[in-house]
């Protein structure tokens, strides 16, 4: 990775995190400030700052993010009751870490929107 982010350090296991899944394309770990009983971040291992920076070559990683989300939701016991997948883009979209990531949030009723 050319740019160091807290997420790249987690992917490379340079900082501790509760990693629940990792393969050659994506890494998933528990959010340190969870908004729900299950709050897991799923990130591509390759550094991509925002959705605006995605390219056609990233499609495999993005597809994997969704299948990993499905599998984690199942293992967390929230697939039947429901969960939310959130990707924020840039400042007005609420993005805080500029390494694209998907929030998997569930384990309680979330209401019409999730606000921070």
Structure tokens at 81: 């009751």
Catalytic residues: 101
Which is it for strands 38-44 and 19-22: parallel, antiparallel or unpaired? Answer: unpaired
């Amino acid at each position: 990775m050319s740019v160091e982010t807290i997420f790249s350090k987690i992917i490379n296991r340079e900082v501790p995190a509760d990693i629940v899944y990792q393969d050659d394309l994506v890494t998933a770990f528990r959010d340190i400030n969870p908004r729900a009983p299950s709050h897991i971040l799923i990130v591509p291992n390759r550094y991509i700052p925002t959705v605006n920076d995605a390219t056609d070559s990233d499609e495999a990683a993005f597809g994997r993010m969704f299948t990993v989300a499905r599998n984690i939701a199942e293992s967390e016991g929230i697939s039947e009751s429901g969960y939310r997948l959130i990707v924020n883009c840039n400042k007005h979209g609420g993005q805080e870490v500029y390494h694209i990531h998907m929030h998997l949030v569930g384990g309680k009723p979330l209401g019409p929107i999730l606000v921070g």
